[in-house]
């Protein structure tokens, strides 16, 4: 039996970042930059005001205070987006709005609150004069040109994941598109005579195909582009013809037919169509796993991951092996989910020396994480996957992890609802 690490290494070794494409900026969200980005300009481009107020010369306001206003002649107004044609000279000020470029001759901005503007207005005076009532330091409320980024500076490097902040940074440089790794196309094929498509009446003996959908959703959530091929029946002809439709994919994911049952003919067809390995991986759930390459007509070898059929096994195997493969193709360097340590609230049992991934609901209280098993742990009990936000690990060499013990938890998501 392979360890989880061995299986992981063998799979991940077969993937690398895909080619690049240029996409409109917002579509870069969730992708990875494929090129370094250096700034064509200073940010901000010009020194500008951090406040609404008056642009002054600091030498004019030294010693100013509540009882000792310095009166300056207001010679103009500059709003954001304008460049003042006037200069501030000794004894003068220009009214200025947040973001407006600092006029020539000025070096300091006095906010409205630090002037007698309100008193002047209230007593009906015009604002051709203003009294400054604070002695502010040189450069106060002036945002220098290039304060954030200077022209030529490397702002984002290739390999950076694009979040909303990176979208904003790219836009602030004037870019309206980004060069990113393209999304992998992932073909998804469920197999099994017992499967009925959702939306149709359920015939006796059948079950609805949930794997196609949980896997497609997982592909989307991982940044891939799912292509649903439907269900292949447990016969050679149907499986062969469905596999014909995988041409052009970056990854094929099948479910079921990789264990030891009578109808597990997926093994036979995969072997006939490619170079496949069938592994037992020392983990629970998701022991049976297939991985290899499918040869499409053109001689291209497409990686194929055969997930086990049980719905939880399929999802856990996806988490452990398919998600990191998809992230590798997208260009991510960090492939794993975040892990935390938490206190177990009831035991996890390990019957046969496999690594157990228990579905748990993780909560936090007084700064400590707690992991509570999210219901029955059978690999067919999909609702307990739905209740879980983490997978708590019982190592292969321990017969159990007891209640009260600390466990490592893979966080599947951070659910705000459970943070108590």
Which part of the chain contacts ligand AMP (CB under 6 A), choosing from 12-20, 80-88, 172-180, 190-198? 190-198
Question: Residue 279 is inside which H or E element, if any?
Answer: strand 274-280
Encoded tokens for 199: 């939306």
Q: Which stretch binds ligand AMP (CB under 6 A): 52-60, 79-87, 103-111, 304-312?
A: 304-312
Residue 239 CB, shortest distance to ligand AMP, in Å, is: 12
Chosen residue from 106, 218, 259, 377 binding ligand AMP by CB under 6 A: 259
Report the C-alpha gap between 270 and 293 in whole angstroms.
9
255 is a contact residue toward ligand AMP (CB under 6 A): yes
Please identify which residue in 40, 248, 261, 353 interacts with ligand AMP, judged by CB under 6 A: 261
CA atoms within 13 A on the CB side of 264: 17
Tokens of 346: 């009831």
Q: Does 129 bind ligand AMP (CB under 6 A)?
A: no
**Residue recorded with tokens 């206003």:** 69
Residue 105: both structure tokens together: 């001759």
Q: What is the chain's alpha carbon radius of gyration, rounded to the nearest angstrom? A: 32
Alpha helix stretches (DSSP H) within 150-233: 164-172, 211-222
CB of 391 to ligand AMP, least distance (A): 19
Which of 309, 420, 409, 288 minimizes the C-alpha distance to 359? Answer: 409
Q: Would you count residue 231 as binding Mg ion (CB under 5 A)?
A: no
111 binds ligand AMP (CB under 6 A): no
Q: Which is nearer to ligand AMP, 214 or 372 (CB)?
A: 214
Select the residue interacting with ligand AMP from 53, 257, 324, 331 (CB under 6 A). Answer: 257
Q: Nearest approach, Cβ of 231 to ligand AMP (angstroms)? A: 7
Q: Which stretch binds ligand AMP (CB under 6 A): 111-119, 140-148, 306-314, 368-376?
A: 306-314
* Contacting residue, 116, 209, 250, 319, with ligand AMP by CB under 6 A: 209
The answer to whether 190 contacts ligand AMP (rule: CB under 6 A) is yes
Using CB under 5 A, pick the residue from 61, 96, 178, 256 that binds Mg ion.
Answer: 256
Restricting to residues 182-211, name those near Mg ion by CB under 5 A.
192
Read out DSSP for 232-274?
Answer: E-SSHHHHHHHHHTTTT-SEEEEES--SSSTT-THHHHHHHHE
* Residue 272 dihedral angles phi and psi, to the nearest 5°: -65, -35
When asked if residue 306 is in the footprint of ligand AMP (CB under 6 A), the reply is no
Which residues are paired to 281 by β-bridges? Answer: 2
Residue of closest CB approach to ligand AMP: 309
The secondary structure of residue 416, as a DSSP letter, is G
What's the token pair of residue 34? 């494929």
Q: What CA–CA distance (Å, rounded) separates 64 from 133?
A: 5
Helices (H) and strands (E) in the chain, counts: 10, 27
Q: Does residue 207 touch ligand AMP according to CB under 6 A?
A: yes
Size, binding site for ligand AMP by CB under 6 A: 18
Decide whether 280 or 415 has the Cβ nearer to Mg ion.
Answer: 280
Q: Give the interface with Mg ion as residue ranges (CB under 5 A).
A: 192, 256
Give contact residues for ligand AMP (rule: CB under 6 A). Answer: 190, 192, 194-195, 207, 209-212, 255-257, 259, 261, 308-311
């Amino acid at each position: 039996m392979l360890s989880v690490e061995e299986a992981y290494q063998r799979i991940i070794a077969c993937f690398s970042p895909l080619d690049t494409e240029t996409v409109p900026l917002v579509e870069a969200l969730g992708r990875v930059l494929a090129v370094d980005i250096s700034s064509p300009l200073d940010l901000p481009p010009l020194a500008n005001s951090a406040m609404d107020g008056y642009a002054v010369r600091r030498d004019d306001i030294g010693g100013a205070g509540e009882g000792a206003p310095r009166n300056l002649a207001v010679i103009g107004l500059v709003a954001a987006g304008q460049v003042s044609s006037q200069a501030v000279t000794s004894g003068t000020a220009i009214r200025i709005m947040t973001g407006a470029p600092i006029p020539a001759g000025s070096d300091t901005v006095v906010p409205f609150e630090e002037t007698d503007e309100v008193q002047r207005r209230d007593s009906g005076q015009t604002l051709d004069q203003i009294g400054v009532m604070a002695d502010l330091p040189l450069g106060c409320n002036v945002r220098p040109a290039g304060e954030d980024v200077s022209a030529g500076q490397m702002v984002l490097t290739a390999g950076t994941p694009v979040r909303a902040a990176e979208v904003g940074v790219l836009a602030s440089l004037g870019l309206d598109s980004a060069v990113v790794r393209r999304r992998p196309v992932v073909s998804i094929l469920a197999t099994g005579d017992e499967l009925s498509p959702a939306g149709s009446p359920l015939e006796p003996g059948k079950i609805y195909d949930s794997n196609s959908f949980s896997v497609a959703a997982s592909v989307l959530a991982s940044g891939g582009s799912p292509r649903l091929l439907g269900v292949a029946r447990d016969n050679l002809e149907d499986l062969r013809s469905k596999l014909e439709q995988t041409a052009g994919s970056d990854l094929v994911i099948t479910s079921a037919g990789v264990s030891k049952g009578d109808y597990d003919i997926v093994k036979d067809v995969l072997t006939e169509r490619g170079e496949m390995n069938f592994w037992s991986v020392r983990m629970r759930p998701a022991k049976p796993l297939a991985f290899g390459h499918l040869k499409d007509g053109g001689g291209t070898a497409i990686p194929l991951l055969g997930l086990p059929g049980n719905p939880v096994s399929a999802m856990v195997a996806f988490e452990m092996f398919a998600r990191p493969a998809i992230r590798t193709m997208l260009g991510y360097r960090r492939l794993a989910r975040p892990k935390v340590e938490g206190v177990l609230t009831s035991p996890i049992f390990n019957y046969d020396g496999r690594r157990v991934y228990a579905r748990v609901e993780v909560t936090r209280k007084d700064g400590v994480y707690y992991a509570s098993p999210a219901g029955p742990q059978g690999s067919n009990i999909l609702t307990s996957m739905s209740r879980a936000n983490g997978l708590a690990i019982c190592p292969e060499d321990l017969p159990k992890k007891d209640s009260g013990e600390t466990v490592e938890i893979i966080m599947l998501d951070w659910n705000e609802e459970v943070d108590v």
